[in-house]
Amino acid sequence: MPQVADIPHDESRWVRLAQAADARAFEKLYRAHVDKVYGLCLRMTGNPSEAEDCTQDAFIQAWSKLSRFRGDSAFGTWMHRVAVNTVLGRMRKSRREQDRIRAVSDVAPVQESIGDNAELRDLEQAINELPSGARHVFVLHAVYGYSHGETGDMLGIAEGTSKAQLSRARRLLVQQIETERS
Amino acid sequence: MNENDDNTFDDELMARAAKLATEVKPDRDLWPAIEQAIGEPVRPNRSVWNSVWAQAAAVVLLVGGSSSITYMAVSDGGDPILPIAGTQTLVFEPVSGSFGSQYNLGPDYQDARRGLVAKVDDELENLAPETREDVVKNLDTIRQAINDINKALAEEPDNVLLQELLLDTYRYELSLMNKVDGITRAAMRRGDI
């Protein structure tokens, strides 16, 4: 149960303190948002270990860029964008690393799942096996509910490309799930 | 499967995707690595421990340094030990402010120290084995203390006590090396550091 100091209305104060280099305040922001950031990294990378690294990088990036956060959006929204950029940056950094992530993903499927719903677990597994472009669009649009405009903006692609990638993702997911069922 | 079935399945797929967890707890606490990366000490108990550790190291070096200097004073005929330089009294002035995270030893001090280290290495060969062993042991103790204090300072760069301890420790090292080398040098004033 969250304590008084942990409720969201204190968040703007934590942000201000963190902007003044107060690491304790930044730790509170981390505690409040780590599950969301890790969840996003996990969905986008499909690999728990890589997701941990991405989460750490995202918060380190956030710390260094915190002075640029003007409060136009909620901190969580801003942090979400930082996390997306971090994942994409890491993947762009090395194509070989991306291949490694895929390879690891093939043999070490994501364990985290909500409840015991077999259908959701199947879907999670199928999402992990999507090509990265389709996976990123599917995760941001279908799982996190971003519009195609927002998704395209975050991924640095046109809105039309986002729609095309979503269509591709859906087609591949249907095929994947049907294959597993049969 | 016909087109209607396809559409239904597709809709179900999107509905299921919207139910996937957006928050997932990592298996381990990722904060310590982040804290280390952002270079800011957060947990007071750790800072206190580091301070204690550094102070303990400083005490060890004080004992070690003193015993070494005393031993050498006795072994070379009882000449009085002069503080660092031969004729000037070293006055340690308290630090009035923080060095901040970018403190550095001054270039004059570094040059003097490098020169002395080279000379002492040569001079050690001329000492009696027991004396040499004692000096080396004490220099090692002092340098380990310098490393320990530097580590603590990396986490608490604004800790004035640690800064003072570091400067004192460098002074003890200089004092011992000066004695070994038999050099009379101008006192390393605080302004050199």
Q: Is A31 exposed, middle or buried (0-12, 13-18, 19+ CB in 10 A)?
A: middle
d(CA B170, CA B152): 15
Q: Do A142 and B17 touch (CB under 8 A)?
A: yes
Helices (H), chain B: 3-19, 31-38, 44-75, 107-124, 129-155, 160-181
Q: What type of residue sits at position B52? A: V
pLDDT in the model for residue A103: 52
**Is the CB of B20 inside 8 Å of chain A's CB atoms?**
yes
3-state SS class at B50: helix
The per-residue pLDDT for B126 is 75
Report the pLDDT value the prediction gives residue A177, as an integer from 0 to 100. Answer: 80
Least confidently predicted of A70-79, A82-91, B72-81, B167-176: B72-81
Asked if A56's CB is within 8 angstroms of B34's CB, the reply is yes
Note whether A138 and B45 are within 8 A (CB).
no
pLDDT at B71: 55
Residues of chain B with pLDDT under 70: 1-7, 40-110, 155-161, 181-193
Contact B22 A23 (CB under 8 A): no
Q: Any idea where the domains of chain B sit in the sequence?
A: 43-192
Nearest to A160 by CA among A131, A136, A139, A137: A137
Q: Which chain A residues are Cβ-neighbours of B13 within 8 angstroms? A: 123, 170, 173-174, 177
pTM: 0.52
The predicted structure's pLDDT at residue B168: 75
Mean of pLDDT values over A66-85: 91
Which of B22, B25, B29 has the most A C-beta neighbours within 10 Å, making it the best mutation to test the interface with A? B22
From A30-44, A97-111, A116-130, B20-34, the region with the lowest mean pLDDT: A97-111
Query: What is d(CA B67, CA B61) in angstroms, rounded to the nearest whole number?
Result: 10
Q: What is the mean pLDDT of chain A?
A: 83
Cα torsion angle, B141, B142, B143, B149, sign? positive
B22:A40 CB<8 A? yes
DSSP SS3 for A69: coil
The answer to whether A108 contacts chain B (CB < 8 Å) is no
Could you give the CA distance from residue A134 to residue A132 in angstroms, rounded to a whole number? 6
Q: SS3 of A47, please?
A: coil
Contact B31 A40 (CB under 8 A): no
Q: Mean pLDDT across the stretch A67-88?
A: 91
Note whether B84 and B175 are within 8 A (CB).
Answer: yes
Q: Is B23 on the interface with A (CB under 8 A)?
A: yes
Contacts of A112 in chain B (CB under 8 A): 21, 24-25
More confident residue, B46 or A17: A17
Q: How confident is the model at residue A39 (pLDDT cuts 50, 70, 90)?
A: very high
Question: In chain A, what are the domains?
Answer: 1-112 (1.10.1740.10), 113-182 (1.10.10.10)
Distance between A135 CA and the closest CA of chain B, angstroms: 12
ipTM rounded to 2 decimals: 0.77
Q: Collect all residues with Cβ–Cβ distance below 8 Å to B66 and sequence separation of at least 6.
A: none
Q: How many CB atoms lie within 10 A of CB B144?
A: 14
d(CA B67, CA B84): 16
Mean pLDDT along residues A1-17 = 66
pLDDT the model gives residue A51: 93
Quote the minimal CA–CA distance from A95 to chain B in Å: 25
pLDDT band of residue A26 (cuts 50, 70, 90) is very high
Ranked by mean pLDDT, which of A68-72, A79-83, A170-174 comes out on top?
Answer: A79-83
DSSP, collapsed to helix, strand or coil, labels residue B28 as: coil
Structure-block tokens of residue B57: 């190291």
What tens digit of pLDDT does each residue of A122-148 get?
A: 888 889 889 989 999 999 999 999 999
On whether any CB of chain B is under 8 Å from the CB of A177, the answer is yes
Q: Does B34 touch chain A (CB under 8 A)?
A: yes
